[in-house]
């Protein structure tokens, strides 16, 4: 027994030394959104997107991308800044409910980490993003705080998968309504 104690002590010291020499990479939020459409892709900087949402100023790449949407910049700004007030307790119930898992599974085909090999990883990233986004937004979440809460440096936005869902809803507002308010009513009641 005397030999075992010093052995474990040495292992713990080596672990702490290893962690101090090789600290784990800490990713605070997504820095880039890679928009993928068929074989084409464009990357948007989250900071640039935030500046556009707040001030209406867009860099060259973002301006080109905005032109492709055939939507007024003011409408896009409004969508990016639209806050949804969701108490953390309700968001947590929603994210871990059956309907929440269905919504997140569908959403994970649209928004996911670049190296997500399975659906579970993308769903966990979405859950993390929502929780952290609500925290960053002080009880509210919008598109910007959602991406600021995303747990990987780069996030993929699959336009092909999004367009399949968009064909089923009439507007982006209806899509946002579908993904946020519809499930909330049921969870608030429980």
Nearest to 190, CA basis, from 93, 86, 87: 93
Residue 104 lies in a domain: yes
Nearest to 114, CA basis, from 179, 175, 36: 36
Encode pLDDT of 144-153 as tens digits.
999 999 999 9
Angle 172-189/159-166 helices, nearest 10 degrees? 80
Region 124-139: mean pLDDT is 92
Residue 36 lies in a domain: yes
Residue 61 lies in a domain: yes
Residue 6 lies in a domain: no
The pLDDT score that the predictor gives to residue 162 is 78
φ, ψ (nearest 5 deg) of residue 90: -70, -40
Query: Does the structure show a pLDDT above 60 at 171?
Result: no
Tally the domains of the chain: 1
* Residue range(s) defining the domain that contains residue 88: 32-189
Encode pLDDT of 32-70 as tens digits.
998 888 788 888 889 998 999 999 888 888 888 888 777
Residue 14 lies in a domain: no
Residue 22 lies in a domain: no
Residue 131 lies in a domain: yes
Residue 136 lies in a domain: yes
């Amino acid at each position: 027994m005397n030999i075992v104690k010093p052995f474990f002590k040495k292992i713990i010291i080596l672990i702490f030394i290893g962690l101090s020499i090789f600290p784990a990479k800490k990713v605070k939020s997504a820095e880039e959104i890679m928009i993928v459409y068929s074989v084409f892709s464009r990357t948007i900087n989250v900071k640039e997107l935030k500046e556009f949402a707040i001030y209406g100023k867009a860099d060259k790449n973002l301006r080109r991308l905005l032109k492709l949407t055939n939507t007024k910049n003011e409408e896009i700004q409004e969508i990016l800044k639209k806050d949804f007030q969701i108490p953390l307790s309700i968001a947590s119930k929603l994210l871990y409910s059956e309907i929440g898992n269905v919504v997140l599974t569908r959403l994970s085909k649209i928004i996911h980490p670049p190296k997500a090999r399975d659906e579970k990883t993308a769903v966990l990233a979405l859950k993390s993003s929502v929780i952290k986004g609500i925290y960053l937004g002080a009880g509210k979440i919008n598109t910007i705080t959602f991406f600021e809460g995303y747990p990987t440096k780069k996030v993929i936005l699959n336009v092909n998968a999004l367009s399949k869902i968009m064909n089923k809803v009439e507007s982006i507002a209806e899509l946002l309504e579908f993904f946020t308010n519809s499930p909330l009513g049921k969870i608030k009641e429980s």
